[in-house]
Structure 1
Amino acid sequence: MRKPSYALYKQLQEQFYKISEKAGLRQQLIPYFISSHPGCTLADMAECALETKNAGLQLEQVQDLTPTPMTLSSVMYYTETDPYTGKKLFIAKNIKEKREQKMLFFWYLKENRQEIIHILKQRGLAQYISRLFPFKG
């Protein structure tokens, strides 16, 4: 919440690489992702995994949300409510839910593939499987 959209990140990335190339610099952006943010469901994380995959990103660092004092995210986490709308939010609070959300960011690791497929099927999100793991036959 109150974070820029992924589309804005893509615009920034495009401008960053154009400017870097023009200046003759080899630089890279390292995106910072947080899993288990209040309001994010497993389907949201699957969408995010697809976005990063389609962008050619293989993330190495993802932080699980840690509620910290005096942040809007903490208010949302503890009240399980969107402070702007009053609507109830999904909050990944137990270890299993948090682990599943974070694992989706690491879709490219072979050791995660079968478990991700199982989780997506179990949660009624099988439509993401073929997009994350296209059949190569």
Structure 2
Amino acid sequence: MPKYYSSILFTSPPINELIIRHVSGRLKVALEHTNNNVLEVMRKPSFDLFEAFKKIFDRINREQSLNQQLIPYFISSHPGCKEADMKELATIIRRLNFRLEQVQDFTPTPMTMATEMWYTGYHPYTLKPVFSAKTQQEKLSQREFFFGYKTKEKGLSTKGIAD
């Protein structure tokens, strides 16, 4: 975990102040994914950082008798994300008891490294192949993992997602 993330996260006064005084009820957090390989392609910190933050957030909520929620923001079909990564993500969000309301599908945008990977199929720095969901079926298949709880409530398959 980069030093600047951990020093901000684990410094009590600022994080307490943020959670107690500046969250009106829901705090949106741009996790974007749970798999560290996918997060690395996204140039994001490890998911461990979020889990550490969630523990602090939950503890402060208990101690202060608050009823705040963390609302995670995720992206489906990002370059580098495979079906196995989505199964892992679905298992983790279920364990964390998140019921997602919406998900952003990856959209290629000019001048970004992610779009270069999506278009070429290669990581520009390592030149290793990078999978990208491109067809409508591949994109739908990835998006379904986010809403497995809805599928399970209807008695349908959850694609091998662990409880």
Smaller-chain TM-score range?
Answer: 0.7 to 0.9
Q: Secondary structure at the match of 1:107?
A: helix
Deviation (angstroms), 1:69:
2.1
Q: Matches of 1:91 and 1:71 in 2, distance apart?
A: 15
**How do 1:44-123 and structure 2 match up within 5 A?**
44-110=85-151, 111=154, 113-114=156-157, 116-117=158-159
Structure-2 separation of matches of 1:97 and 1:20: 39
Bigger RCO (CA 8 Å, 6+ sep): 1
TM-score, normalised via structure 1 length: 0.77
Instruction: Flag the 1:72–1:23 CA change in 2: closer, same or farther, 3 A.
Output: farther
**CA-CA distance at 1:106 after TM superposition:** 0.7
Residue in 2 aligned with 1:16?
A: 57
In 2, distance between residues paired with 1:24 and 1:43? 38
Aligned residues: 120
More strand by share: 2
1:73 and 1:23 map into 2 onto residues whose CA distance is 41
TM-score (norm 2): 0.66
In the superposition, relative to structure 1, how do residues 22 and 5 fare at CA in structure 2: closer, same or farther (>3 Å)? same
Tell me the SS of whatever aligns to 1:69: coil
Gaps of 5+ in 1: 118-127, 133-137
Q: Structure 1: which 4+ aligned runs deviate by more than 6 Å?
A: none
